[in-house]
Chains A and B, each alone.
Chain A
Amino acid sequence: MLRQASRLLSRSVAAGTSKSATARGFSTEVPSTIDSTFVESWKKVAPNMDPPQTPSSFMKPRPSTASSIPTKLTVNFVLPYASELSGKEVDMVIIPATTGQMGVLPGHVPTIAELKPGIMSVHEGTDVNKYFVSSGFAFLHANSVADIIAVEAVPLENIDPSQVQKGLAEFTQKLAAASTDLEKAEAQIGVEVHSAMNAALTG
């Protein structure tokens, strides 16, 4: 009898939820409160059971977006092995996105950007800190928090220019000699990364 009950429940609940699901729109717009039409139809069918929890009720609500643009950008810059910057308040960061160098100011439009090998600079007053980033992602949130994650990020002084030149020559040659698609791709990655490092050191 109980087995049948759950089947009957899920059938009628599914009818209720499919209506409320389509009426709801994107999940980012749903307030963290419970969907009342669903709860009402549930109570009609199973008054003694609690309505099921949805994943959003376990999640913390999104941090609210301030009504006025904050004056500082909060940057979290992390690497797999270390946290370079954690909650640091800065004026601007320039990130090497695949679409070009992107300047991020407080109040930037929420964006997810994939990073290409290049220089990331953090501007705080008159101080500028530059890092060469190998690749990664930058998540810019509506509340002026920027989460930047990179696999490798080194200060420019730690890069050896002679090795960069050697690597660039080596990969340019490999690119010319490559036969399979995969070899070509690897050689091209080599050329791109070394050219970016070269440009970072000279530019």
Chain B
Amino acid sequence: MASSAAVPFWRAAGMTYITYSNICANLVRKCLKEPYKAESMNREKVHFSLSKWADGKPQKPVLRSDAPEV
């Protein structure tokens, strides 16, 4: 069976669909008029901590946070 049709340019550059979709959504959000822009930026705030494990112990965590520092 032949492989499927031509891949989209972003897939050819190594990007996944989710990455592409998120980039599109972010660009649209950045072009909104004021109250809507602030609302959407607020909605999309994330806060997470990621740590890789080695030898059964967590290594230094990576913290990504849009929450204001208290």
Contact = CB atoms under 8 A, between A and B. Distances in A.
- Kindly state the interface size class of chain B when it binds its partner: 20 to 34
B27 to A, nearest CB: 5
Interface residues of A, number: 27
Given A81-B43, A163-B31, A181 B24 contact: no
A181 B10 CA distance: 9
A15 B14 CA distance: 43
Contact of B24 (A151, A154, A160): A151
Q: Most chain-B Cβ atoms within 10 A of its Cβ — which of A152, A154, A190?
A: A152
B13 A190 contact: no
A117 B10 CA distance: 14
Given A81-B43, A136-B21, 12 more contacts: A134-B21, A134-B24, A134-B27, A151-B22, A152-B40, A159-B31, A163-B30, A182-B13, A182-B14, A193-B24, A194-B27, A197-B28
Interface of A: 81, 117, 132, 134-136, 151-152, 154, 157-160, 163-164, 167, 181-182, 184-186, 188-190, 193-194, 197
